Structure 1
């Protein structure tokens, strides 16, 4: 494939023009990368076309215009629906899939894309569309490392990129892990504001000290991570027994106030399991061993 762009630019195609796709294409255009766009509802390309983007009548036509193909759609089924008819256009190109899915779906798609003679990268984007291209955005990539190195200057326009490994499903595993932590935080927030509301405390009033405390508590996570990686859980501070007593009090209060304990009760079961196995004086971080199925 012959590139008509200067060495400092990359020919980019963006498939999917939802909020994320619009922001991605806009970031590439803003930095002078010749950008082609496609969306099932063609009118969504009008604003980008006015800014200089080319449009493709079909996914295949859009893919054929570029060396770097970025896909940002709803799910992996949609990715396949777009790429299958364009299989003959993929050879020699790099497909960067920024669609959220499962590790298994990433492995399957990577194998299929590679069979078509293209390089594959899977990416997990940590940004809202408004922060794409700013220091608040970052992306984890896995898959073809050579392709990542080649296209990193363009990809870093999305946000700070980190290559996490050559197995194409790794970014999806990272994404699931990180988002699990995020939803755990949201669960705690919902519990906190619901508990406050039982005594007429506004959500905003609970949230102010909660954010302050969570910010401080988050500083413990790197130390916990080191303990988990070493498998060494000795501590003189936040022991499992201390936390088990505290969590029991929280659950008792929750019941007294007429609320469900469904969100936090499973955590107490982990603490109970560890204490019953003889680890009452171990660090709180040792609770992860019950999730792993070890004692």
Structure 2
């Protein structure tokens, strides 16, 4: 289905968004302050708008991807009248407060608004597994789901436009935590010593077999967190703490950075000291939240 869409902001991510719309067969109008960034897209069939106002007027769906919400506001303010009755999808990175503020201004103007987060590097945009998060009125999302699917997997989080921003940074935190844990494992298994000298590729093959178990544990612990009850299930916190100590010791013997296991030991050690050694690992949510012991 050919649906007209305008993309304002052609940085690396914005250019990838516009390119994905073109690849999906959508008539795409683009605008960027630096006109040279539009040329590769024009060569692929995009129409370059002479101004943000012209881009807004080119179709019913306007996608914005600019460096900050302040920049987005500056660019879009002269377009306020033209945006009325259209749908604005804001994929600019920012805080939840920025998202709510932008949604409030759009509502006052009579603009249909979705806030979003593209959880993908530019080279991944357009892949079916490229996660794209959206928040705002469900009817607005459903009306444009098919077009937004050109960017990847469109996931609707709820009415609150701040939801994508919160999920964006939380999921990045998970990414960094997981990748840092993986790098620690690469360093530990690859270092000299008994059982060492393992290549990163070989270790990662085993990690791939382990990750489904991690996913299952997340699901189980999520239910415990929601219920506020943390049964050990045969693997209590005091046992976790003992194994964390072994991780730290193994790293010290091989000269591996110890900050990560020390962070584990700090949280779990506090919980065990507070008498929660017989509870399950999910008990640590109370410490991550910063509420315990106050």
Both structures adopt the same fold (TM-score exceeding 0.5) = yes
Alpha-carbon distance, 1:286 to partner: 1.4
Matched, 1:222 2:219: yes
Select the residue among 235, 247, 250 that pairs with 1:253. 250
TM-score (norm 1): 0.88
Alignment counterpart, residue 36 of structure 1, candidates 2, 8, 29: 29
1:153 positional shift: 1.7
TM superposition shift of 1:14:
0.5
Structure 2 residue 184 is the aligned partner of structure 1 residue 191 = yes
Instruction: Tell me the distance in 2 between the aligned counterparts of 1:116 and 1:260.
Output: 53
- CA displacement 1:114-167 (0-9 Å, x = unmatched): 233212211122333333333212322101322212212211222222221111
Structure 1: distance between partners of 2:191 and 2:20:
46
Distance in 1, Cα, partners of 2:211 & 2:138:
36
2:120 corresponds, among 124, 127, 131, to: 127
10, 15, 25: which one pairs with 1:17? 10
- Answering whether residue 148 of structure 2 is matched by residue 155 of structure 1, we say yes
DSSP 3-state at the match of 2:107: helix
C-alpha separation in 1, matches of 2:215 and 2:157: 23
Gaps of 5+ in 2: none
Q: Deviations over 1:255-277 (max 9, x none)?
A: 33334322232222211122122
Instruction: Give the count of matched residue pairs.
Output: 288
- Aligned residue number for residue 266 of structure 2: 269
Q: Which residue of structure 2 aligns with residue 289 of structure 1?
A: 286
SS of alignment partner, residue 264 of structure 1: helix
Give the superposed CA RMSD: 2.2
TM-score, normalising length from structure 2?
A: 0.88
Please tell me whether the aligned partners of residues 37 and 62 of structure 1 are also in contact (alpha carbons under 8 angstroms). Answer: yes
- The more displaced of 228-237 and 281-290 is 228-237
Residue of structure 2 in register with 1:102 after alignment:
95
Structure 1: gaps of 5 or more residues: 1-7
SS in 1 for 2:259: coil
Distance 1:143 1:183 in 2: 27
Alignment partners' CA distance in 1, 2:16 and 2:245? 46
2:163 paired residue number: 170
Secondary structure, counterpart of 1:163 in structure 2: strand
Q: Secondary structure at the match of 1:17?
A: coil
> What residue number does 1:3 align with?
none
264 and 60 in structure 1: CA distance in 2 versus 1, 3 angstrom threshold: farther
Misfit runs of 4+, over 6 Å: none
Question: For residues 195-214 of structure 1, what are the structure 2 equivalents within 5 Å?
Answer: 195-199=188-192, 201=197, 202-214=199-211
Q: Which moved more, 1:250-259 or 1:179-188?
A: 250-259
